[in-house]
C-alpha cells in the first residue's frame, strides 16, 4: 500500500500526484508535500547523497511506522538523490485517508523524519564551492513533537 522510492534522476511531482490521487478514489482527504531546492542565497546547486544499504530500507521502515500510526489508505514517499538546481523537487510525500486530519498529520510526521532521521547528507554549492549542511536545531525540535 505504501509506494516508497529513492529517485536518482528528476522527479515529476505533477504526474506523481495525479497518479496517486487516481489510485485512492475512496480517500476523502489527500495531503501532498513537495520540498524543492530553495532559490537565493547564491546557491547554484544542491547535492543529496545516500548510502545504498540503509537509505531506502530506512524510508520503507518510516512508511511502515507512519501507516501503523494513522489509518491511511495510501502513502507515497519519493526522495531524490544526486545533484539538483534551484527549483528542482527534492522530496514528495502524499498521504491519503478517509478524513483530512489523519492525512495532514501523517504527511507532517513522515516529512519531519525524512529531514532529520533518514540516511541523507546534503551539501550546497555557491561561488565559494561546496559546503555540507548540518541539521538545524529546529529539525530536532520538530522531531520531538512526535515522541
Partner 1 sequence: MARLIFLGRLEDIAGTGEMSVASGPVEHILAALDPALAVQLLGEKVRMALNGRLLTDMGGIVLGEGDELAFLPPVSGG
CA atoms of 19 and 32, how far apart (whole Å): 12
* Cβ atoms 99, 29 nearer than 8 A: yes
Name the β-bridge partners of 89. 36
- Of 101 and 131, which has the nearer Cβ to partner 1? 131
> What is the torsional sign of CA 98, 101, 107, 110?
negative
List of residues contacting partner 1 (CB under 8 A): 35, 48-49, 51, 53-54, 57, 79, 90-91, 111, 114-123, 132-135, 139
- Of 91 and 103, which has the nearer Cβ to partner 1? 91
- Of 104 and 119, which has the nearer Cβ to partner 1? 119
Closest approach of Cβ 123 to partner 1, in Å? 8
Amino acid at each position: 500500500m505504501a509506494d516508497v522510492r529513492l529517485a536518482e534522476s528528476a522527479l515529476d511531482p505533477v504526474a506523481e500526484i495525479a497518479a496517486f490521487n487516481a489510485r485512492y478514489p475512496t480517500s476523502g482527504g489527500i495531503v501532498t508535500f513537495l520540498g524543492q531546492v530553495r532559490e537565493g542565497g547564491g546557491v547554484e546547486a544542491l547535492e543529496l547523497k545516500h548510502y545504498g544499504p540503509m537509505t531506502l530500507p530506512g524510508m520503507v521502515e518510516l512508511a511502515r511506522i507512519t501507516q501503523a500510526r494513522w489509518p491511511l489508505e495510501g502513502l507515497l514517499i519519493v526522495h531524490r538523490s544526486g545533484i539538483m538546481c534551484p527549483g528542482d523537487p527534492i522530496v514528495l510525500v502524499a498521504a491519503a485517508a478517509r478524513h483530512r486530519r489523519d492525512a495532514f498529520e501523517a504527511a507532517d510526521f513522515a516529512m519531519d523524519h525524512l529531514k532529520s532521521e533518514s540516511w541523507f547528507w546534503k551539501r550546497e554549492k555557491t561561488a565559494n564551492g561546496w559546503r555540507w549542511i548540518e541539521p538545524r536545531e529546529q529539525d530536532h525540535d520538530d522531531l520531538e513533537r512526535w515522541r
